[in-house]
């Protein structure tokens, strides 16, 4: 009896070992055969900051995703590689690798690789505008010896690593590496640093989690006080707040279902203090404007269109705040910023740190 138990636990142990070894070898295969994951991330970083990757050589990923702004861009809506405005506001990118669905209103976009390919190849309207210019852009990259080295280091087993799937893979690896976890809120809750939050931010936190304001009902995905992992600051549902002034019908455009009209993904709020302007169309300029929008039950500042107003989620009903309370709530939202990540050299423009000229042009807002 005992011997049988021993044998079966040995068998289980061996089976587990085989599974782990398989998982590890599968992982390294999907990352880059023979190359190091770090070399792939580094290549992705160079590409992210390189405007030669766009059709007209003017627009880099970093034009619309700036580190100091949490990888958002400060504009209501950006303009792409043909000068045409995009339809929606550029979201921040920190921790987007942990989101199960990407973009403001398309639940089908699940992987960073998918969204990176969209940024590169979309035509209506174009972001990077690569479609139709593929060979020309690859030739530009090949001409830079820096890339000869970096593509070979990332993908040593490839006869010719200068391909769009490899470029997409490297960019996605870089975006996946953009993590921000060291916020005053994280230090206060997970490292018990009681002084990490100001008294005002602590009062704002109580308001945020209060049933009357209901912010946490949509913007928190883990239940405090369990707090096993930091929240992503979004439950990742699609709901209508009524915000927006455009003809943008939100999730319904992707699903074709009338009941999805004006629904947008609840945006994660990490680093939200630096990602203004707000909402899918960038129609609210400041955090104060966003809070006043919620105070008015989604009426003031946006959401003036009757159809949008009618679609509003039942939790968006309005409440009353004093000036002090509004300031407290803003102080709490500001405590969700990871200042270190905004300055982390590992995420910064590699052309500058290499003593070359930046290949990201400054844009006027
Ligand atoms: C012209 C501006 C522009 C450029 C250039 C651009 N993006 Fe974006 N990015 C956006 C906008 C706008 C969205 C939101 C799209 C939507 O919701 O439909 C977005 C969304 C994303 C997202 C999804 C984030 C989330 O939380 O859902 C990722 C990831 C991303 N971009 C990465 C990139 C990468 C990598 C590049 C370069 C290949 C790039 N972007 C180039 C404007 C831009
Ligand atoms: C019913 C769900 C729901 C509730 C309740 C809610 N939000 Fe939101 N929030 C959303 C959605 C959805 C958006 C995006 C709307 C859009 O783009 O049209 C959003 C957007 C935001 C934004 C802008 C983020 C960005 O990146 O543009 C902030 C800030 C914000 N909410 C804070 C709050 C605060 C503070 C409260 C409580 C007073 C709150 N929210 C209550 C669902 C909700």
279/195 same-domain check: yes
Q: How confident is the model at residue 223 (pLDDT cuts 50, 70, 90)?
A: low
Asked whether residue 245 is assigned to any structural domain, the reply reads yes
Task: Give residue 306's pLDDT.
Answer: 83
Q: Which atom of ligand 2 is nearest to the CA of 314?
A: 1
Q: Tell me what the mean pLDDT of segment 262-273 comes to.
A: 96
Task: Give residue 254's pLDDT.
Answer: 94
162/198 same-domain check: no
The residue to mutate among 64, 130, 173, having the most atoms of ligand 1 within 8 angstroms of its beta carbon, is 64
Residues 247-266: tens digit of each pLDDT: 899 999 999 999 999 999 99
215/295 same-domain check: yes
Please state, rounded to an integer, the average pLDDT across all residues of the chain.
Answer: 88
Asked whether residue 168 is assigned to any structural domain, the reply reads yes
Task: Give residue 227's pLDDT.
Answer: 62
- Ligand 1 interacting residues, C-beta cut-off 6 A: 48, 59, 61, 63-65, 78, 80, 86, 88, 90-91, 93, 96, 99, 102-104, 112, 115-116, 119-120, 127-128, 171, 175
**Domain region containing 264:** 184-337
Residues 3-39: tens digit of each pLDDT: 444 434 444 333 333 333 333 333 433 444 567 899 9
CA 155 to chain centre: 26
Residues 313-363: tens digit of each pLDDT: 999 999 999 999 999 999 999 999 999 999 999 999 999 988 888 989 877
Task: Give residue 228's pLDDT.
Answer: 67
- Low-confidence winner among 102-106, 299-303, 311-315, 349-353 (lowest mean pLDDT): 299-303
Task: Give residue 300's pLDDT.
Answer: 75
Structural domains of the chain, count: 2
Asked whether residue 32 is assigned to any structural domain, the reply reads no
Asked whether residue 318 is assigned to any structural domain, the reply reads yes
116/221 same-domain check: no
161/253 same-domain check: no
B/e letters for 312-335, b = 16+ CB within 10 Å, e = fewer, are: bbeebeeeebeeebbbbbbbbbbb
Q: How confident is the model at residue 90 (pLDDT cuts 50, 70, 90)?
A: very high
Other CB atoms within 10 Å distance of the CB of residue 190: 16
42/154 same-domain check: yes
Q: What is the pTM of this model?
A: 0.90
The residue to mutate among 89, 115, 129, 253, having the most atoms of ligand 1 within 8 angstroms of its beta carbon, is 115
Q: Tell me what the mean pLDDT of segment 171-177 comes to.
A: 98
How many Cα atoms sit within 13 Å of 259 on the Cβ side? 0
Q: Does residue 204 line the site of ligand 2, with CB under 6 A?
A: no
In angstroms, what is the span from residue 9 Cα to ligand 2's centroid?
Answer: 51
Asked whether residue 259 is assigned to any structural domain, the reply reads yes
213/114 same-domain check: no
| CATH number, domain with residue 120 | 1.10.760.10
């Amino acid at each position: 009896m005992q011997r049988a138990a021993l044998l079966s636990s040995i068998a289980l142990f061996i089976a587990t070992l085989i599974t782990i070894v398989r998982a590890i070898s599968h992982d390294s295969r999907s990352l880059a055969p023979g190359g190091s994951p770090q070399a792939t991330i580094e290549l992705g970083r160079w590409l992210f900051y390189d405007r030669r990757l766009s059709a007209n050589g003017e627009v880099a990923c970093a034009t619309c995703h700036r580190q100091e702004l949490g990888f958002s861009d400060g504009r209501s809506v950006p303009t792409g590689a043909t000068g045409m405005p995009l339809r929606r506001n550029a979201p921040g990118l920190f921790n987007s690798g942990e989101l199960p669905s990407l973009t403001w209103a398309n639940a089908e976009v699940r992987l960073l690789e998918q969204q990176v390919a969209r940024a590169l190849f979309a035509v209506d309207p174009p972001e990077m505008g690569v479609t139709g210019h593929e060979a020309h852009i690859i030739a530009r990259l090949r001409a830079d010896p820096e890339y000869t080295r970096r593509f070979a280091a990332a993908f040593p087993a490839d006869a010719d690593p200068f391909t769009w799937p490899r470029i997409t893979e490297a960019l996605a690896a870089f975006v996946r590496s953009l993590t921000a976890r060291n916020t005053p809120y994280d230090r206060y809750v997970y490292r018990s640093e009681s002084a990490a939050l100001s008294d005002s931010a602590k009062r704002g936190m109580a308001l945020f989690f209060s049933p009357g304001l209901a912010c946490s009902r949509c913007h928190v995905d883990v239940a405090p006080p369990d707090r096993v992992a930091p929240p992503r600051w979004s439950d990742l549902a699609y709901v209508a707040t009524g915000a927006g002034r455009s003809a943008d019908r939100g999730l319904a455009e992707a699903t074709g279902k009338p009941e999805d009209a004006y629904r947008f993904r609840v945006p994660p709020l990490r680093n939200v203090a630096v990602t203004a302007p707000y909402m899918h169309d960038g129609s609210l300029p400041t955090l104060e404007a966003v809070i006043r929008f919620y105070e008015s039950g989604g009426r003031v500042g946006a959401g003036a269109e009757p159809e949008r107003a009618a679609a509003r989620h039942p939790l968006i009903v309005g409440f009353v705040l004093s000036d002090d309370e509004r300031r407290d709530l803003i102080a709490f939202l500001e405590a969700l910023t990871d200042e270190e990540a905004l300055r982390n050299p590992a995420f910064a423009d590699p052309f500058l740190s290499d003593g070359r000229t930046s290949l990201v042009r400054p844009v006027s807002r």
